[in-house]
Amino acid sequence: MKAIKDSVVKIAYNLYDENAEGTLLQEVKSDDAFEFLFGYKDVLPHFEEALKDQEKGFTFEFGIEKDEAYGDFQPQAVIKIPKEVFNIEDKVDQEEILKVGNVLPMVGPDEMPMEGEVKEVHADHVVMDFNHPLAGKNLFFTGEILDIREATEEELAEAKQAEANMNDLGGLDLSDLPQ
């Protein structure tokens, strides 16, 4: 079977910064392989294109420039948020969740769900970074396709619903947020 739309592709890979000699950013081994539904934007378009029409056992090695991956680091996506925004009624301890390095689910403009990393915690505000963790990086992948199978009806239905939901959301514009 080939890696085509409506197939589930299972891979092991290493992700490096810049090239194969760059810093190892992520390692996904075969015993904890990554599976994705081909053709439904589960992975970067250039990643999917590099695997298109390949079969089980195919080994890959390719790069994706930052402009085709997660783009440049956007300074305007690093914002100060008043600490009172994190006053949560269900007795979640602010000190527990507001730790540097924690990634928190948030709701942005137009009720858009997003995640931000806590960068700094101050007495009256928190500095959060809403850039993708790989923003500003050229990516380089090495790996192997471990398996390919037909997607189940349930997987296809879920993917089509997620695709419809994403199409209903507008682009995320952080320009209105305070700096």
- DSSP symbol at 18: S
SS3 93: coil
Query: pLDDT tens digit string along 113-140?
Result: 889 999 999 999 999 999 999 999 999 9
pLDDT tens digits, 50-86: 999 999 999 999 999 999 999 999 999 999 999 888 8
Question: E strand or H helix at 157, and its extent?
Answer: helix 153-168
Tell which residue, 133, 37, 121, has the closest CA to residue 80: 121
Could you tell me if 81 and 114 are in contact, meaning their C-beta atoms sit under 8 angstroms apart? no
**In what order do the strands lie in the sheet containing 78-82?**
78-82, 125-129, 113-121, 103-107
Mean pLDDT over all residues of the chain? Answer: 89
- pLDDT above 80 (res 93): no
Residue predicted with more confidence, 171 or 146: 146
Residue 168 binned pLDDT confidence (cut-offs 50, 70, 90): low
Q: At residue 171, does pLDDT exceed 50? A: no
Average pLDDT (146-159) is 94
Pick the range with the lowest mean pLDDT from 2-6, 54-58, 112-116, 153-157: 112-116
Question: Residue 137 phi/psi, 5° resolution?
Answer: -115, 140
Alpha helices (H) in the chain, listed in sequence order: 45-51, 94-97, 153-168
How does residue 144 score in pLDDT terms, banded at 50, 70 and 90? very high
